[in-house]
Chains A and B, each alone.
Chain A
Amino acid sequence: MSAPLVDISSVSHRFGQHTVLKNVSLTIEPGSYTILLGPSGSGKTTLLSILGGFVTPSEGKVLIRGEDCTAVPPAKRPTTTVFQDYALFPHMSVGSNVGFGLRMQGVDGATRAARAREALALVGLATAFDKKPHQLSGGQRQRVALARALVVEPAVLLLDEPLGALDLKLRRQMQDELKAIQKRVGTAFIHVTHDQEEAMALADHCVVMNDGRIEDEGPPERVYARPATRFSATFMGESTLIAGTVTEAKSGKITVTTKLGSLSLPGTLPAGSTVALAVRPEHLVLGTAGGGVALGMAKVSDVVFQGSFKRMLGTSTTDPALHFIAKVPAASAVQPGDVVAVSCDAGDIILLAD
């Protein structure tokens, strides 16, 4: 394996008394699309600011291309940032905005204009060269900001909630374009968001953050299917969570006792540990002809039609504190007030240590 492009080792950061990053380590591979996903206050934006050089961490090191960049100012490090509010220069034309980074490098006017035009063509805005930022729509400004950051050929492109200010339809469209542009230029992108759909759609590598720590990281498929922690199971998609205790553990098999009964699962946790069993909505089966593991009866409290499917919310009849979330076919006749049997396959149960 080649050396990582970015190596963040044991970074902690405090704002006054408040610790926003707690001993975070992360590596970024060349050409990858990394998503930092987390709720507000999770430290993801601070981590991005540290990468961009706008914040110097209280502890730890940041290596970019093997060089220690921990305290290198933004102007001198091989990163560029796409800001959430785009931060275009309002008094300059779009062409001058995009060419600004090259101008700072001392590139001559003609080359600058040519490369700015290329970058604008890359983001599909070739005709906007002579316009002023205020003449463009939100989505177009977003592309200009992207072109401006890419034209200087950074080692890493940092995106701070780049789609946050766009409406939903445009956001999904820009999402596809971002991915396409990233594949075309091959630059490593690090993108901060709190939108898990965005994360799943874009990431090669998804980093789930909470309370200043990395909860889970890996390919989004893995993070979704086998989340490492309870937080990551609930933040990256929805789940039905069943609390339980390990009552027996031997040779890679454990028995978990819950209010719904005992289940045998593969696992290595010691007896006595409290755990949560998570099941994704699409893995819950309603009705008697169900999966291998019976989860008792659910009283349906709400059914929400979502177009291609229905979302069923229900409460266990044996444990009123247990809430089921299931994805059922759009044609399903299940109604609020119905009492239905719930089951799932043993292989779809995610074991989470508490």
Chain B
Amino acid sequence: MRAFIRVVSGLYALAIYGFIFLPVVVLVLFSLQATSFPIPPFTGPSLRWYEAVLADTRLTSALVNSLLVAVVSSAAAVTLGFLSAWGFARFALPGSGLMRGLITLPLTVSYLIIGMGLLVLFNWAGVPKSLTAAGIGHVVINLPLCFAIVYSQMGDHQINIERAARDLGALEWKVLLLITVPVMAPAIFAGFFLSMTFSWDEFVISFLLTRFDTTLPVEIWNLLRSGLNPKTNAVGSLVFAVSIVLVVLFELMLLRRKPA
């Protein structure tokens, strides 16, 4: 009976992980297809489609654009998120609870709504569609996330450390730069890498806010309009690989516990 339960729960686990990962496995597998259609039977392995991706300047420049937007928007989001978390943690502000709620609210709003809102706003303000516009959109969606991560790690035990620095003659900006930022570094990097992951994958906002230069997810969508081929699988696999690296970096940063 016990053995039976073990087998059933094993199968159940297998089914769940299969359900989650089978699409990705299929995507990666057929990116290695040697022939022109990403359907069984598997004819690879071959790297010809990866070569094709890297030879396609539209895809490679979109990849560079995506990285650029991810890095710059994440840096901006984590800087702003850190500063607001510090403000909320260290100063008694009027309506602090409400304001904290408002700053994390965009986490619950759909990207489509945020993208549309920005599109209307930028139209009205005369800001052209561009990578910058998409980057601003990514700051909007990632700032609340960075705020939440940094704020959750900002405990009272750091207050005395900051006080000690002030006591020894440090000006406020030096306290922030030399003490608070290094002490909060794990949370700051975690926020940065998670933001990069989301920015890197993000489609809707980039689609709405870019025109000529665009990001990789939008370029992949363009590619998909002409039908499936192993090249789309290859570029999808590359996107997936980068996401994994970013998520692993995030986990390493957040879960690494330094001895006190």
Give the interface size bracket for B toward A: 20 to 34
Tell yes or no: A54 within 8 A of B by CB.
yes
> Are A89 and B165 closer than 8 Å at their CB atoms?
yes
- Cβ B169 vs Cβ A105 within 8 A: yes
Verify A80–B163 contact, CB threshold 8 A.
no
| Cβ-defined contact, B165 with A80, below 8 A | no
Quick one: given A54-B163, A74-B163, A100-B165, are A90 and B170 in contact (CB under 8 Å)? no
Q: Whole-angstrom distance from the CB of B140 to the nearest CB of chain A?
A: 31
Does B164 contact A83, Cβ atoms closer than 8 Å?
yes
With contacts A90-B260, A134-B258, A134-B260 taken as known, whether A75 is within 8 angstroms of B171 at the C-beta atoms is: yes
Pick from A52, A85, A105: contact of B167, CB below 8 A.
A52
**Is B14 engaged at the interface, CB distance under 8 Å to the other chain?**
no
Residues of chain A lying within 8 A (CB to CB) of residue B157: 85
Verify if B90 is at the interface (C-beta below 8 Å from A).
no
Q: Roughly how many angstroms separate A148 CA and B179 CA in the complex, as a whole number?
A: 15
Beyond A90-B258, A134-B258, is A81–B169 a contact (Cβ under 8 Å)? no
Known contacts A54-B163, A74-B163, A83-B163; is-contact A91 B168 (Cβ 8 Å): no
CB-CB < 8 A to A81: which residues of B? Answer: 163-164, 167
- Which chain A residues border B167 with CB–CB below 8 Å? 52-54, 74-75, 79-81, 149
A347 on the interface (CB 8 Å rule)?
Answer: no
In the complex, B174 has a CB within 8 A of chain A = yes
Residues of chain B lying within 8 A (CB to CB) of residue A89: 161, 164-165, 179, 182-183
Q: Mark A70-97, 1 if CB is under 8 A from B, else 0.
A: 0001111001110111011111000000
Size class of the contact patch on chain A: 20 to 34
Query: Once bound together, how far apart are the Cα atoms of A140 and B228, in whole Å?
Result: 66
B211 at the interface (CB under 8 A from A): no
Residues of A within 8 A of B179 (CB): 89
Which single member of A73, A76, A87, A104 contacts B174 (CB below 8 Å)? A104
Residue A57 at the B interface, CB < 8 A? Answer: no
Q: Are A87 and B169 in contact (CB under 8 A)?
A: no
Is A75 in contact with B166, judged by CB distance below 8 angstroms? yes
Contacting A at CB under 8 A, from B228-260, are 258-260
B160 within 8 A of A: yes
| Cross-chain contact B160 with A80 (CB below 8 angstroms) | no
**29 A-B pairs whose Cβ atoms sit less than 8 Å apart in the complex:** A53-B167, A54-B167, A75-B166, A75-B167, A75-B168, A75-B170, A75-B171, A81-B164, A83-B160, A85-B157, A87-B164, A88-B164, A89-B164, A89-B179, A89-B182, A90-B258, A91-B182, A91-B183, A91-B185, A100-B170, A101-B169, A104-B169, A105-B169, A134-B258, A134-B259, A134-B260, A148-B168, A149-B167, A149-B168
Binding site for A on B (CB under 8 A): 157, 160-161, 163-171, 174, 179, 182-183, 185, 258-260
* Besides A88-B164, A100-B170, 17 other A-B contacts (C-beta < 8 A): A54-B167, A74-B167, A76-B169, A81-B164, A81-B167, A84-B160, A89-B165, A90-B161, A90-B258, A91-B183, A100-B168, A104-B169, A104-B174, A134-B260, A148-B164, A148-B168, A152-B169
Counting from the closest, the 5 A-B pairs by CB-CB distance are A101-B168, A104-B169, A87-B160, A87-B164, A91-B182
